[in-house]
């Protein structure tokens, strides 16, 4: 008879003891599942943007090298958790088995196509084979399985859109949900990395709330990204400032806000060392939301202290109630945004 494990997955932790699965160095990805777990046959991994970027750079762009790195990480850790960035991503698959004691609050059935809404950095994962890597959209097609605890949230794939499109949207579902909470009419809002996946969906939400009020400012260093921002048409101003250069960003934002600066800065850049650009672009009593997993808490907290900023710093929690429904709804309502996601990510 199978055992009933801890709802948070501590029964899968190998070391160190007393860790939760996310902070553990190694977890158990073996079968059979416990009575309160769900087994998913995995089709696609959607690697966190910061993690995928780091792996590509470490392998000098060699995709076979990225494959070997992913296989090595999962073999060593029992999960896809980049040891450099600490982040994971999410997955797409099909429900294969549901433990009899799993609460199954979403009414999932065996055979349902699902996307995970918890990080790969805490999800037991076994890869039999990596079939294809899609570097342009940070996705990896595999053959393998994953195990979900009671606390692990997942969403059923909508029937009105391709699976890979839904996966791309749900990968950044926390960003639009938090943006809805933070943006208010008449604000000056800066979005760093506005031309990326999370950045573009945040732009759509911010424009919905701002309407004709306030000012929506994009910071996007690449021309390719700026072209996406222009085509979407949500932003009032598009800056090409380098987000790793805080003084440059601060000066550019000061120019377009006449020295008032931003009430809210949302950082979606998948690169390191953008913390101070976010803080220096913000009012002293404003809010900075770090959605990017490349954020260093130490750099942000001590950096803000060093320049005398009293801005509220929010770490990007990828979960919010109904965030999957919110994200899918945003893309459904915005035709140009959906076309962009279909073109780039599906």
Q: Residue 1 falls within a domain, yes or no?
A: no
190 has a pLDDT exceeding 60: yes
Q: With pLDDT > 90 as the criterion, what percentage of the chain qualifies? A: 86
Give pLDDT, residue 23: 95
In terms of domains, do 198 and 224 share one? Answer: yes
Please count the residues of the chain. Answer: 346
If asked whether residues 87 and 182 sit together in one domain, one would say no
Distance CA 204, CA 282 (A): 20
Residues 226 and 148 in one domain: no
Domains contained in the chain, number? 2
- The whole-angstrom separation of Cα 78 and Cα 243 is 34
- What is the reported pLDDT for 2? 62
Looking at residue 167, its pLDDT comes to 84
Q: How confident is the model at residue 136 (pLDDT cuts 50, 70, 90)?
A: confident
Q: Tell which of 104, 129, 157 closes a domain.
A: 157
Q: DSSP per residue over 268-317, as a string?
A: --SSSS-HHHHHHTEEEEEEEEE--TT--HHHHHHHHHHTT---EEEE--
> What's the pLDDT tens digit per position in 306-333?
999 999 999 988 888 899 999 999 999 9
DSSP 341: H
Q: Which CATH number is 257's domain given?
A: 3.40.50.720
pLDDT tens across 238-253, in order? 999 999 999 999 999 9
In a domain, 22, yes or no: yes
Q: Are residues 62 and 132 in the same domain?
A: yes
Full domain range(s) for residue 328 = 174-345
Q: Considering 88, 123, 157, which residue would you say is the last residue of a domain?
A: 157
Domain co-membership, 192 together with 329: yes
Mean pLDDT, rounded, for 263-267: 98
Summarize the chain as % helix, strand, coil (round to 5).
35, 25, 40
Contact partners, residue 338, CB within 8 Å, separation at least 6 = 331, 332
Q: Are residues 148 and 257 in the same domain?
A: no
User: In this structure, is residue 116 part of a structural domain?
Assistant: yes
- Where a domain ends, among 95, 128, 157? 157
Q: Are residues 136 and 179 in the same domain?
A: no
For the segment 51-92, what is each residue's pLDDT rounded down to a tens digit?
999 999 999 999 999 999 999 999 999 999 999 999 999 999
């Amino acid at each position: 008879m199978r055992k009933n494990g801890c709802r948070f997955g501590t029964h899968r932790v190998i070391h160190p003891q007393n860790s939760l699965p996310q902070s553990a160095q190694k977890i158990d990805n073996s079968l059979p599942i416990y009575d309160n777990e769900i087994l998913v046959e995995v089709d696609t991994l959607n690697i966190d943007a910061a993690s995928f970027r780091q792996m590509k750079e470490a392998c000098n762009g060699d995709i076979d090298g990225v494959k070997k790195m992913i296989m090595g990480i999962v073999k060593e850790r029992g999960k896809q958790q980049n040891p450099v960035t600490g982040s994971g991503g999410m997955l797409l698959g099909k429900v294969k088995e549901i433990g009899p004691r799993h609460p199954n609050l979403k009414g999932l059935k065996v055979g349902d196509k699902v996307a995970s809404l918890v990080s790969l950095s805490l999800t037991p994962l076994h890869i039999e084979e990596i079939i294809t890597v899609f570097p342009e959209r940070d996705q990896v097609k595999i053959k393998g399985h994953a195990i979900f605890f009671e606390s692990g949230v997942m969403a059923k794939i909508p029937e009105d859109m391709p699976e890979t499109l839904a996966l791309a949207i749900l990968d950044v579902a926390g960003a639009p949900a938090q943006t809805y909470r933070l943006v208010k009419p008449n604000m000056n809002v800066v979005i760093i990395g506005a031309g990326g996946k999370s950045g573009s969906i945040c732009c759509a939400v911010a424009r919905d709330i701002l309407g004709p009020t306030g000012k929506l400012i994009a910071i996007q260093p690449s021309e390719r990204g700026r072209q996406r921002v222009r085509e979407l048409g949500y932003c009032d101003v598009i800056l090409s400032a380098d987000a790793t250069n805080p003084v440059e960003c601060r000066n550019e934002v000061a120019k377009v806000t006449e020295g008032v600066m931003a009430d809210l800065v949302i950082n979606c850049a998948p690169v390191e060392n953008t913390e101070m650009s976010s803080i220096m672009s913000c009012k002293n009593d404003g809010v900075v939301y770090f959605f990017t997993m490349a954020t260093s808490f130490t750099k942000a907290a001590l950096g803000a202290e060093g320049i005398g900023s009293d801005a509220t710093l929010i770490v990007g929690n990828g979960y919010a109630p109904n965030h999957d429904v919110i994200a899918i709804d945003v893309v459904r309502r915005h035709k140009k945004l959906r076309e962009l996601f279909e073109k780039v990510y599906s």
